[in-house]
Amino acid sequence: MHRIVFPERESVKAEFRRPAFPHEWVEYAESEQGQLAGRLRGATIVIANKLSLGEAELAGLPDLKLIAVAATGVDRIDLEACRRRGVLVANVRGYAAHSVAEHVLMLALALRRNLVPYVEDVRRGRWAESAQFCLLTHTVRDLHASTLGVVGYGSLGRAVADLGRAFGMRVLVGEHRGAAAVREGRTEFDELLCESDVVTLHAPLDAQTRHLIGGRELSLMKPTALLINCARGGVADEAALAAALRAGRIAGAGVDVLSEEPPRGGNVLLAGDSPNLIVTPHVAWASLGAMQALADQVVDNIEAFVRGEPQNIVTSKR
């Protein structure tokens, strides 16, 4: 009988139906990294989210057969160690396309229309003191007729592109950085940075995409452009982004992810000295509908694995 252990149950606010096969289900509301060895002992299936599963953890789990990741990104899982040990890893896909896309456009709209500064002005009584019927203390720009550059064109990037077009934006889809050839329908990476008014990141975090956006890339962007990162914190060099904002090299940024989460050790983007920056706490994916779709797909993946029909596998046995 399978032993299924979910060490981070409270990380997903949704109902997880119990799989339709004999099993033991063990869950913990929260777990620290150091608690995994004891809590996962004897597991054949682990539902993972943000805790790391590397060689050290896997070495103590000889019965483990499947890691069902309750996310799309698998950067917390040592995939090579899983391959060596014959452990399959399945992720969830496409569950948050609408949620993330709406969050990206929300951040872009808030920045282009100076929403946060206007809300603060009203709270401070500046509108009440205005000589005119409207308060024109900050510049308002439209998304309509501007250019949206999409970096990473999976389900999330496509959903953002669709919303951008609905706003009347011209959409550019980025080619991989340094690619020898540009595919039809794609735009060379540096050209996208130069032409876009809003650059939105949807690439997974791996060795090739870490600091995909750094000082050089930010210097290519228009001084009126925005950067939106709802992918992973490490995809953008946070120190370079903070410096670009302080220097006015770009007009603003919206960030839903940081390189360390929660940012208990602090973060340069939370220092409070980066103008025109909105930081949200990794919630772009977390609409109620998206979380329930994620929970359902996690169990679908587990049931498919037990049937011998594994799906959404990101690594395989050797």
For residues 203 and 212, what is the distance between their CA atoms, to the nearest angstrom?
A: 9
Beta-sheet strands, E only, within the chain: 2-6, 23-27, 45-48, 66-69, 88-90, 147-151, 170-173, 198-201, 226-229, 252-255, 277-279, 313-315
Would the CA dihedral through 162, 164, 167, 171 be positive or negative?
negative
For residue 234, give the nearest of 268, 206, 200, 210 by alpha carbon.
210
**DSSP code at position 174:** B
Backbone dihedral angles phi then psi of residue 89, each to the nearest 5 degrees: -125, 125
Tell me how many degrees the CA angle 309-96-173 measures, rounded to the nearest 5. Answer: 100
The residues annotated as belonging to the active site are: 232, 261, 282
* Contact by Cβ (8 Å): 222, 149: no
CB atoms within 10 A of CB 139: 11
DSSP 77: B
- The CB-based long-range contact list for 168-176 (8 Å cut-off, 24+ gap) reads 168/143, 168/144, 169/143, 169/144, 169/145, 169/198, 170/145, 170/146, 171/147, 172/147, 172/148, 172/196, 174/149, 174/150, 176/208
